[in-house]
Structure 1
Amino acid sequence: MSDSESEYDVEEEEIDESEFTCENRARAMKQPDVVTKYKIAADCANAALKVATDACVVGAKIVDCCQAGDDSLEKETAKYYNKKDKDGNKVEKGVAFPTCVSVNNQVCHASPNADCDAVLKEGDCVKIDLGAHIDGYVATSAHTFVIGQDKITGQVADVMKACELASEIVIRKLRPGASTADISETIENVAKDFGVNVVEGVMTHNMKRFIIDGNKVILNKQTPEMKAEPTEIEMYETYALDIVMSSGEGKPKQRDERETRVYKRAIEKNYQLKMANSRAVFSEISKRFPTMPFTARALQEKRVNFGLVECCNHGLLHSYPVLYEKDGSAVAHIKSTFLVLKNGNDRITTFAPQAVESDKKLSDTALYDLIAQPLKPPKKPKAKK
């Protein structure tokens, strides 16, 4: 696809996205460029997810799998929008969320440094999480699979199937006018049917241009310590639907601060750093990763670790800690990006779930009928002129 080509049947209209009201969202989604950029970003994320998945074989170093995903994100996004705009500016594109490969009872955000020697083994349950963006329009994806096993049973099968079904149900419920009030309950009921727990703290965020985690959230599990006000789904919004299940307690914890290698610039915070190497690190971050999360591995400044510590201590960076469930717990993670459109929700990041054999089923059989419904009605053939 060239810079000017669009395979999506949308109506062209110039708009100003500075005030992203519902009316402006509608006008934005009707622009070929906006929808095209979302879907190109999704194509890039889908391709990178496959590359990272294929790299995850017995004996492979985890850091190499992460790097393979990041390299693919850069390679795929580099194919598009290489002409400068009318003001002479290049279109920003690339990694929107660095590739994380979290194994077994690791819940999320594992993207180790190059000197990490950890390798994958047969039977490891792997969660891959990554994202791409084109001109700030983000598409993220995550999925779970087991290495080197054709028959997946037991608690691993239960968490994987529960994640898959919850995702399929929720994406069909999040239509314009629907309240998010009962979504947590829906996810909890699926988890109960499969004898697993919803992982606390996981949120589905809306996304806007250059904003990967918007203020509009759906909390998967309401707790006394963490609650989210119900909100209403609106037309022409974009969401990253995030579902994480565990055979453990669903209360993940950080074990070692030194494992944290994924960060994001806190754009609302300013501070004059004292150390010269910290200023050098922060300068590189501000130039290369002004709005999107990044991995420490991607930084070129030599004294990265020292610089990151001072930046974090003074709130200049948000960190994504590596979280763990209890040893022996099975964890599954599914994430997909979808656009809320008139004719149905358009899921733009996809993957083929690995087949599992769980002996558990949904107690509400009507939900199977809901899942069987297509997200979007089939397109009517265009009348010949």
Structure 2
Amino acid sequence: MTVTADPKEDLNGKEPSQVIEDNDDGEDDVPEIDPAGTGDAKKKKKKKKPKKKKAEQSDPPRIGLSKLFPTNVYPEGELQPYKDDNAWRTTSEEKRYLEKLASEDPQTTYQNIRRAAEVHRQVRAHARKHIKPGMSMIDIVENIENGTRSLVEENGLESGVGFPTGVSINNCAAHYTPNAGDTTVLKQGDVLKVDFAFGVCKRRNKYWSPGIDVRLGELGGYIQETMESYEVEVGGKILPVKTIQNLSGHSIGLYNIHGGKSVMQIKTDDMTKMEEGEYFAIETFGSTGRGHVVDSGDCSHYAKIVDAPRVPLRLTSAKSLLKSIDKNFGTLPFCRRYLDRAGETKYLLALNHLVQQGIVQDYPPLCDQLGSMTAQFEHTILLRPTVKEVVSRGDDY
């Protein structure tokens, strides 16, 4: 369409040079004034800038979060209001101000936790779709950990895998990940617990009683009451669900995955309170067995003790291994596969020596009686000044 106009003519209050007509050809039609007055003005084409396509995650997930969230602001988890004695926090000006300060700083704990939770959600969703009977445990954990490392954009102790990927099966409840050479394969009918970085509870009644000033011993009673009100059918038999009484959730600290406070799954006399600003892994373990786990099988999980003593080491290999642990993991948990990945070889004697000297803690697999089935559900919660945030909540879990 050709546009002609007298330069002095007002077109609906606009100068001719301001009038643009679009003929839907993907380009803007810009009028060109005819100074000679021949009526033969021509239209120039001005190309529109193409819209930036939003980055999407790959399958398997391998695109770093900085490309998906360039502002470094990550999605909030599920928000749950405080109730009863803490309901005042929702409208308190002081608490709202503290919330504002923490939310505006992209380097706060809030954004760091949400970043980790987003990694967990995306990798978890992929794992749920793709884990199938016939897969080896090695393939399962490496697929998960490769996704975690890619999304968090691994950078030494600044960002990486926070905990070895647990793939405990059936009566084994926790702390099993395959060592090199392990040929275990997931079979049809196996109950598999996939535990990595973050993990949740499913029930939403008393189960979600965690909150500021809640006493940990009382919370354990709510967990036990809820879990043991259910039954499960296994092999055509209806069996009661028991809480595993010697496993627990815990608070989380900086470079200290078990931050000092434990959330047991039974009622206890523990009067310790949850406090504002803390965050917790609320882990729940159910079993059709005794409801009690013991150490069983080859150890894979280890961690340097936070306040480890400074003791002389008589083995040169132990000194060298400790330097490697400090460099690669600090006080974060690691497994033998991670030592292999770091280039360590023939390290078992040195590793056992560090355990014996009280510098490194070993965490063997934890199992209930043979023939029983165990399950784990977990979520990570952040106790903000005005609201509880279940940071690991997703559409699938």
Same fold (TM over 0.5): yes
Task: Provide the C-alpha distance between the structure 2 equivalents of 1:267 and 1:303, rounded to a whole number of angstroms.
Answer: 25
**What percentage of aligned pairs have identical amino acids?**
22
Equivalence for 2:107: 33
| Separation (CA, whole Å) in 2 of partners of 1:171 and 1:237 | 18
Q: Which amino acid aligns with 1:186?
A: Y
Q: How does 1:64-213 map to 2 (within 5 A)?
A: 64-78=139-153, 92-131=158-197, 140-141=198-199, 164-165=202-203, 168-169=204-205, 172-194=208-230, 195-213=240-258
Residue type of the alignment partner of 1:215: G
- Whichever residue aligns with residue 277 of structure 1, its letter is S
SS in 2 for 1:141: coil
CA distance in 2: counterparts of 1:229 and 1:29, whole angstroms: 32
Contiguous gaps of at least 5 residues in structure 2 = 1-65, 77-94, 231-239
- How far has the Cα of 1:3 moved from its partner? 6.4
Show CA shifts across 1:171-206 (max 9, x none): 531122333332122122223322211102222212
1: CA distance between counterparts of 2:254 and 2:98? 11
Is it true that 1:245 corresponds to 2:245 in the alignment? no
Q: CA RMSD in A?
A: 2.8
Q: Unmatched 5+ residue regions in structure 1?
A: 10-21, 83-89, 132-139, 143-162, 355-385
Equivalent AA in structure 2 for residue 260 of structure 1: C
For residues 175 and 128 of structure 1, the distance between their equivalents in structure 2, rounded to whole angstroms, comes to 26
Q: Is the 8 A contact 1:199 1:250 kept in 2?
A: yes
**Deviation of the 1:210 alpha carbon:** 2.2
> What is the one-letter code of the residue matched to 1:213?
H
**Residues 270-285 of structure 1: matches in 2 within 5 Å?**
270-285=310-325
**Does structure 1 residue 265 correspond to structure 2 residue 304?**
yes
Amino acid at match of 1:6: V
- How far is the alpha carbon of 1:334 from its aligned partner? 0.9
What do residues 342-370 of structure 1 show as CA deviations (whole Å, max 9, x unaligned)?
Answer: 4432111135668xxxxxxxxxxxxxxxx
Q: What do residues 236-290 of structure 1 show as CA deviations (whole Å, max 9, x unaligned)?
A: 221111100111111111223xx11111111312222222222222211110000
Amino acid at match of 2:258: D
Aligned match of 2:13: none
d(CA) in 2 for partners of 1:198, 1:108 = 14
What amino acid is aligned across from residue 199 of structure 2 in structure 1? S
**Contact 2:287 / 2:375 at 8 angstroms: preserved in 1?**
yes
Provide the residue aligned with 1:346 in structure 2.
Answer: 389
Letter paired with 1:214: G
Matching residue's letter, 2:242: N
One-letter amino acid of the counterpart of residue 374, structure 2: V
Which amino acid is 1:265 matched to? K
Give the partner amino acid of 1:183. Answer: L
Task: Work out the CA distance in 2 between the residues paired with 1:333 and 1:52.
Answer: 16
**Candidates 328, 347, 350, aligned match of 1:288:** 328
Q: Which of residues 269, 272, 279 in structure 2 aligns to 1:231?
A: 272
Instruction: Assess if the C-alpha contact under 8 Å between 1:210 and 1:292 holds in 2.
Output: yes
Could you tell me how far apart the structure 1 residues matched to 2:251 and 2:162 are?
15
Indicate conservation of the 8 Å contact 1:55/1:68, yes or no.
no
Query: Structure 1 residues 181-190 or 288-297, which shifts more?
Result: 181-190
Conserved 8 A contact 1:51-1:68 = no
Go from structure 1 to structure 2 and tell me whether the alpha carbon gap of 1:8 and 1:198 turns closer, same or farther (over 3 Å shift): closer
Shift of 1:70: 1.7
Shift of 1:28: 4.8
Distance in structure 2 (CA, Å) of the matches to 1:353 and 1:69: 17
> Which of 119, 122, 142 lines up with 1:47 in the alignment?
122
TM superposition score normalised by structure 1 = 0.70
CA distance in 1, matches of 2:354, 2:371: 35
Q: Does 1:60 align with 2:135?
A: yes
Q: Deviations over 1:196-223 (max 9, x none)?
A: 111022222122322221122222125x
Distance 1:316 1:100, change over 3 A: same
How far 1:302 sits from its partner (Å)? 0.5
Residues in 1 aligned to 2:72 and 2:395: alpha-carbon distance in whole angstroms: 28
- Find the aligned partners of 1:273 and 1:52 in 2 and give their Cα distance: 42
Change beyond 3 A, Cα 1:171–1:288: farther
Q: Is the 8 A contact 1:219 1:228 kept in 2?
A: no
Q: CA deviation at 1:111?
A: 0.6
AA partner of residue 293 (structure 1): P
Report the Cα distance in structure 1 between the residues aligned to 2:259 and 2:98, rounded to whole angstroms: 14
Whole-angstrom CA distance in 1 between matches of 2:364 and 2:269: 22
Aligned twin of 2:264: 219
2:296/2:364 contact within 8 Å kept? no
User: Which one-letter code corresponds to 2:175 in the other structure?
Assistant: H
Moved over 6 A (4+): none
CA separation of 1:50 and 1:58: change in aligned 2, threshold 3 A: same
Letter in 1 for 2:219: I
* One-letter code aligned to 2:369: K
The secondary structure found in structure 2 opposite 1:118 is coil
Greater C-alpha radius of gyration: 2
2:189 maps to a residue whose letter is G
CA distance in 1, matches of 2:227, 2:304: 34
Secondary structure of 1:193's counterpart equals coil
For 1:32, give the aligned amino acid. P
Cα displacement (A) at 1:38: 1.0
